[in-house]
Amino acid sequence: MDFAGRTRVLTLTLIFLVTPAEHERDTVQGSEVIRVSEGSDVILPCSIEESVEQQLFDWRKDGEKKKEVFMYDAGLHYNNGLRDQDDQFRGRVSHFPDQMKFGNASIRINNTKITDSGNYTCYFPRINGGLTFYMKLVVGSVPKPSVTIFNVTDSGVQLKCEVQGAFPKPELRWKDSDGNILDAEEPEISERDGRYHVTLQTTVTSTTTTSFQCVVQQKDLNHETASTITVSEKLFVDSCSKVTIEGFMAGMMAGAGLLTVVQAVLAAFKFIRISWIRGTKKNEEDEPETKKPLSSDIITV
Ligand SMILES: *[C@@H]1O[C@H](CO)[C@@H](O)[C@H](O)[C@H]1NC(C)=O
Ligand SMILES: *[C@@H]1O[C@H](CO)[C@@H](O)[C@H](O)[C@H]1NC(C)=O
């Protein structure tokens, strides 16, 4: 094969490789996921091979009802007079005028909110009878978990991990410092205004480690964050001594029963003694008053 022939094969191969890819791009379905954290700005990408300055392109967000995010029509757009932009996006979306001649129809959303999360489309109605680009935006809130010692009981030290206002829904796990996942109680999950509050408790006993980690995973955001707590050896000792104290208390209770018996015996003895004194007193009726303190002393014992 001569050089020209080889070039032809190479060219054909390249066309073969490129064509399906280009076709795929036109019909791409939510293949691109863009992840940002709440409050930051994000660029949603969309571009074609020709200038978009004289084009119409329309950005929409999926939902129960499609929301108008940004529309550009040959120079007119939502920031210079076009109407019907959704309130959610008003004043927060802009395009890149100096990039348009390169076919760039990307937009920037400022100060993203959790509610901006969802599927977006960039639509060119006048190209190839309608050309649509799809992408998914996930605006996350990734609070660091707070970890506390919740209680010390006879079964160990109770640890609590708490995450407030997270999005997307986080999964919590307790691990020891070797990375082993610890048994935990059922997580408590509540949701308010699209944000999740989750707590997860576990009980740890004295092991080879005293350091425990609460890991918060937000799969849709590809995000993981963790907080570590160190439990002092002393608490484990306290946890054990608590058992001893309780044992002691139980002993005391049993002792109390015995005490009652002893008191009853003493009381009976007292009664006998008082009767005996009274009996003696009768014989001492003629005696001077000086003896009285003795009998009253006994009564007050
Ligand atoms: C976004 O698109 C994906 C598929 O591409 C779909 O599973 C999901 O339900 C869509 N989300 C919304 C909010 O429409
Ligand atoms: C379009 O413009 C934005 C903003 O300047 C830039 O970030 C992005 O990379 C551009 N896209 C293309 C395909 O050039």
Residues 101 and 166 in one domain: no
In a domain? residue 291: no
CB atoms within 10 A of CB 94: 15
Which residues on neighbouring strands pair with residue 197, listed in sequence order? 190
Residues 131 and 151 in one domain: no
Is ligand 1 within 6 A of the CB of residue 118? yes
In a domain? residue 113: yes
In a domain? residue 177: yes
Is ligand 2 within 6 A of the CB of residue 99? yes
Is ligand 2 within 6 A of the CB of residue 96? yes
Range of the domain at 113: 3-140
Which residues on neighbouring strands pair with residue 138, listed in sequence order? 35
Q: Which ligand is nearest to the CA of 102?
A: 2
Q: At what angle do helices 233-283 and 292-299 cross, to 10 degrees?
A: 140
> What is the per-residue pLDDT across 89-116, written as a single tens digit (0 to 9) for each?
999 999 999 999 999 999 999 999 999 9
Q: Whole-angstrom Cα distance, residue 139 to residue 200?
A: 24
Is ligand 1 within 6 A of the CB of residue 62? yes
Is ligand 2 within 6 A of the CB of residue 94? no
Q: What is the CATH number of the domain that holds 217?
A: 2.60.40.10
SS3 186: coil
> What is the per-residue pLDDT across 175-228, written as a single tens digit (0 to 9) for each?
998 899 999 999 999 999 889 999 999 999 876 688 999 999 999 888 999 999
> What is the per-residue pLDDT across 132-141, written as a single tens digit (0 to 9) for each?
999 999 999 9
Give the pLDDT score at 281.
42
Distance 47 CA to ligand 2 centre (A): 8
Distance 136 CA to ligand 1 centre (A): 8
Residues 108 and 227 in one domain: no
Which tokens in the block code for residue 174?
């307790």
Number of domains composing the chain: 2
Res. 245 pLDDT band, cuts 50 70 90: very low
> What is the per-residue pLDDT across 121-168, written as a single tens digit (0 to 9) for each?
999 999 988 999 999 999 999 899 999 999 998 889 999 999 999 999
Residues 112 and 162 in one domain: no
